[in-house]
Amino acid sequence: MATTCGLRTLKNEPVPLKSVSVEVDVQGHVASVNSTLQYENQESNPVEAIFIFPMDSNAAVYRFLARIGDVEIEAQVREKEKAKEEYDDAISSGQEAFLLEESDESSDVFRLSVGSLPPGQTASVTVGYVSELAVQADHALRFCLPAVLNPRYTPAGSKSLTAEVPGARAGDVPYTLSLTMDIYSPSSIQSVESNCPLTPLEFFSQDKTQAKVSLSPGHQFDRDVELLLYYSEPHQPMAILEAGQPGSLMGDTVAMLSFYPEIHVEKSSPMMSSGEFIFLVDRSGSMGCPLNRSNDNESRISSARDTLLLLLKSLPLGCYFNIYGFGSHHESFFPESVEYTQTTMETALNKVKSMQADFGGTEILPPLQNIYSKPCLPSHPRQLFLFTDGGVGNTKAVVDLVKRYAHSHRCFTFGIGEGASSALVNGMAEGGSGHPQFITGSERMQPKVMQSLQYALNPVAKDIAMKWNIPAEVSVTPLSPPVNVLFNLKRVIQYFQLTGQNASNMSGSVSLHYIVEDKPFENKISLNLKPDADNSMLLHRLGARKAIVDLEGKVREGDDKSAKERAVELSIQSGVSSSYTAFIGVNRENKEPVQGPLLSRVPAATAAALGVCARFFKAPSDRGRQKRAYDTVSRASPGPRASCVGLQPAKETKLIFKKMTVSGNPKGDTVHWVDVYCNYTKNICCVFPPQPEFSSVWATVLAVLWLHGYKAESRDEWQFVAKKAMTWVRAQSEFVANLGLRE
């Protein structure tokens, strides 16, 4: 079931997120977004709030700013494991800290952690990102602010991305959304439409190239917010140059080139009556959910059926086709693709009408592997159409598989309903040289479906190349992957890094060359090589994001051993997020540690996984204490080492921690607690190296950790025993050298 991304407590009560305000600045086809989340801790204890939210997969997140009272904290990009360790260390010490990280598996899911927020305190966090606006079938530019995050089905053996997504109910979102959009267009703005109520469009120039629009007041952020911008000349080619900032990796000029190729082919082209069309339809249980919150009567599977019926009726005679349904298992209408005739069409139509969301989970890899295992038909280029609500946990594995077979087919995707994964829908289409579509309402379904079918029927453009006509002293380095597919009037955006140009008004041009059906085409853009005086660095960030995503793909392919290091370096130096880095901010202005036990606002399953809670390092955070305890044990213990900071205790050690946790809070006095400590000594002696002095040290450390974690309210009774015990531990010089323990 779809869920809005508000956080709820273990008692199913709203967390202290009070409001979300969004400022959008649209420059032509690029949107710069600053989204501010306002928190307020109304509890009597410090809280740690976890907020998991969706994001446009093509967005370049470049800013993370936190405000606590009068203190402003600008977060920095760090290697992810180092950022997590810094965050845990901060809240373990009672400091206020903020962590923003992109999911390892899907680029459209982010996790925000707000740690050690004191009682009665307010805090705001601002996330800044920039993204390109997608062009729709009716030539509108689409901006979407996602609010719905559908649970991602995760295959066995994989980690769930959305296990911590809370269960906020529709109409019960504890915060509101305010959104304002300023628009600057190269041509006049005709209108702005939305699925949510808007204020009247307000113009600020006579030529209607500057305007402002807002959501109507009081909007509850319980659904995706979609705005469609209509320009008078949406297909205008352009080149924008942006100056760099000295001293950074992206210090040179970055050029964004936007082409709109016009491909004219003969109507009698053989491609119009050929092709193998394979339709892959998601029939998992989530496809039975409503298409959107404004229309509970139409389900996602019914929208997919309508879309598929339209496509089946529109296929050209002479082609071949087949239809697959997938969920926990998959099945096809025909053993092999069949020729498209009146008889086979009617057979397929009848089967489509009976399709239901009754296949369980969302295992998309097996049907894809089955499709790719079948040989392509001669003279019938394969076209794959996918219909899904985008709820899978192995997104990157799916995208990588599609890319692996990009030479033998084109992949067109349809994201059905609110919350469809943009990482999956966009990634498969881009990796498969196709085109993505998002269907959130039936009123725009038909033109989108027909646009994708028209793209599929178009012949393939070959020998695509960029040719530059610029002074010899200017060198060009591509930031985007090479263009491998072109469709008629489908925008193509490429980013390049230019070095060597001076401040004079040098001019030049760049051309997009390609061949369709043995006919050469050329699209040319003139350049003024003096960059605009703009310090926003938006194009640099978009270009950096393109380069980072390309490097991440090379890491997964395994053919470039240095790709990960280059991706991390580029992410840190450009300040743009990646799956290998995270934003970390710590309030170092607060000299007084936050006092009191920290309430972690996470679901029960996650809270249970935290294990032992100890205050060995005077830490108010359960999560931070657990991390420190495990780290302390793991630094000298045998066994695998692969936790969030690169260390993991031995399996047996974890069992001991678990036993100590299960034992709960035994009744009695300090003598009983010492008995509990002694009872574990025998087990501990079996876990660690054979030196007897090490066994005694480990037993002492674990016992003190347990006392701090489970008998904190009786600290006055055991603090001297614990202090004496740790004094003895520090006296064991070899052990101290191993652990690095300090006062």
391: Cβ contacts below 8 Å, ≥ 6 apart = 150, 151, 152, 153, 284, 286, 362, 419, 421
CB contact at 8 A, 132 and 58:
yes
Confidence of residue 243 (pLDDT cuts 50, 70, 90): confident
**What DSSP letter does each residue of 507-537 carry, written as one string?**
EEEEEEEEEETTEEEEEEEEEE-S-B-----
Confidence of residue 167 (pLDDT cuts 50, 70, 90): very low
The pLDDT, as a whole number, for residue 688 is: 46
Mean pLDDT is lowest, of 9-23, 183-197, 284-298, 397-411, for 9-23
Class of domain 270-457: alpha beta
Tell me the sheet residues that pair with 135.
141
Class of domain 461-574: mainly beta
Mean pLDDT of 331-344: 94
Architecture of the domain made up of 3-233: Sandwich (2.60)
Q: Where are the alpha helices (DSSP H) in 58-141?
A: 80-92
CB contact at 8 A, 31 and 86:
no
Mean pLDDT of 277-290: 92
The pLDDT, as a whole number, for residue 721 is: 61
CB contact at 8 A, 25 and 36:
no
The pLDDT, as a whole number, for residue 272 is: 54
pLDDT digits (tens, 9 = 90+) for 640-667: 333 222 223 333 443 444 334 434 444 4
User: What is the pairing mode between strands 320-326 and 276-282?
Assistant: parallel
DSSP three-state, residue 271: helix
The pLDDT, as a whole number, for residue 211 is: 96
Q: Using CA atoms, how far apart are residues 169 and 190, in angstroms rounded to an integer? A: 37
Q: Is the model's pLDDT at 394 over the cut of 70?
A: yes
CB contact at 8 A, 20 and 36:
yes
Q: Which two tokens stand for residue 413?
A: 């995707």
> Which helix (H) or strand (E) segment is 450 a member of?
helix 445-457
Residues of the chain with pLDDT > 90, as a percent, come to 37
Q: Using CA atoms, how far apart are residues 550 and 553, in angstroms rounded to an integer? A: 5
Question: Structure pTM?
Answer: 0.75
pLDDT digits (tens, 9 = 90+) for 5-19: 444 444 445 556 778
Q: Which two tokens stand for residue 176?
A: 């509101």
pLDDT digits (tens, 9 = 90+) for 23-64: 999 999 999 999 998 877 777 777 777 778 888 888 999 999
* Buried/exposed code over 668-682 (b: 16+ C-beta within 10 A; e: otherwise): eeeeebeebbeebee
pLDDT digits (tens, 9 = 90+) for 117-150: 778 888 888 999 999 998 888 889 999 988 766 6
User: What is the pairing mode between strands 519-528 and 338-339?
Assistant: unpaired
CB contact at 8 A, 75 and 86:
no
**Which pairs with CB-CB distance under 8 Å and at least 24 residues apart come from 499-507?**
499/252, 499/253, 499/474, 499/475, 500/473, 500/474, 500/475, 501/253, 501/471, 501/473, 501/474, 501/529, 501/530, 503/530, 504/530, 505/529, 505/530, 506/470, 506/471, 506/474, 506/530
Domain boundaries, the chain: 3-233, 270-457, 461-574, 610-739
**What DSSP letter does each residue of 491-504 carry, written as one string?**
-EEEEEEEES--SS
Amino acid symbol at 594: V
Intrachain domains 3-233 and 461-574 with the same fold = yes
Let me know how many helices (H) and strands (E) the chain has, helices first: 16, 37
SS (H, E, C) 326-370: ECCCEEECCCCCEECCHHHHHHHHHHHHCCCCCCCCCCCHHHHHH
